[in-house]
Amino acid sequence: MSSPFQGARPAPAPRHIAIIMDGNGRWAARRGLPRAAGHREGVLAVRRTIEAAIGHGVEWLTLFAFSSENWRRPIEEVTDLTFLLRHYLRAELRELAEAGVRLHVIGERDRFGPSLQAELAEAEARTAANRKLNLVIALSYGARAEIATAARRIAAAVAAGALDPAAIDETLFATHLATAGMPDPDLVIRTSGEQRLSNFLLWQAAYAELVFDEALWPDFGAANLGQAIAEYARRERRFGARPEPVPPPAAGAGG
C-alpha cells in the first residue's frame, strides 16, 4: 500500500519483537519480597505485553522466559518458575486461544518433566490454527546450544550422504534452528537496564534493532512497548548497505 504522504516514509512497524524479560528478582528485592513474588508479578507483565503487541499489529512476539543457563539457579527458584509456567498455561490458554494467539515453544523442552512437556505440546496443538499473533516462548533456550544442535544435524545429514556440503548456506542452516519458518526479530527489547543478549537468538538477531529499557520486567507494560516501537521507528536499518539517498529535488526546482 502506498503512503498518501508524498515522500514521507513511515518506518514499518516491527513484525517480530523479541523480549528478554529481566529484573523480576530485583523488583522483588526492592520490596523486601521473595524472588518468586517478582516472577509472579512478571506474569502480569506478560499478559499486558501480549495484549499491547496485538494492539500494535505485531505478528510475532518471542518472550525469553527461561534460559539454558538459568538451570544454574537454586532448585527452589527453578521449581517456582516451572510451577508458574504451568499455572500460566492452565490459566491463560483459553483466553490466548480466543484472542487468536498461536503458541510456539523453542528451547530444550526435554529438560522439563514429561507432564509439562505434554502440556506444552497440547497448548501448541490447540492454538495451531490461530493467526492473530504468534507467541514464541523460549524455555530452557540458549542460542549457542541451538546453533550447535543445528550443526550436528547438518553434519549427520552430510555423513549419511543425504546432504552435499556445498548446499550448506545461511538459508539451509536456519532451517535447522528452533526458529525454522519464523521471521527474524526486527526488534529485541531487554528490560532492567542490562545491556547484553545473554545467549538469546544470537543467529536470528544479527540485524535486529536493540532497545534497552530501564524498567524491571514486572513494571513493563503497554507504554514501555509503545516507546520501544517508537524508538524502533526512528532507527534506520541498513543491513550493511548504504543509507537511503536523499530524494532528488522535484523536477523544475532550482536551476
Pair 91, 163: CB distance under 8 Å: no
In the residue annotation, 186 being an active-site residue is answered as no
Q: Which does 26 bind (CB under 5 to 8 A by kind): Mg ion, ligand IPE, none?
A: ligand IPE
In the residue annotation, 22 being an active-site residue is answered as yes
- Burial class (CB within 10 angstroms; exposed 0-12, middle 13-18, buried 19+) of 78: middle
- Binding segment for ligand IPE (CB under 6 A), chosen from 5-13, 65-73, 93-101, 178-186, is 65-73
- Binding segment for Mg ion (CB under 5 A), chosen from 20-28, 82-90, 139-147, 166-174, is 20-28
Q: Which does 15 bind (CB under 5 to 8 A by kind): ligand IPE, Mg ion, none?
A: none
21 binds ligand IPE (CB under 6 A): yes
Positions in 182-211 near ligand IPE (CB under 6 A): 192, 194, 196, 198
Of the pair 22, 41, the CB lying nearest Mg ion is at 22
Pair 3, 221: CB distance under 8 Å: no
92 binds Mg ion (CB under 5 A): no
Q: Which three cell numbers stand for residue 194?
A: 542490562
Residues near ligand IPE (CB under 6 A) are 20-26, 64-67, 70, 81, 192, 194, 196, 198, 217
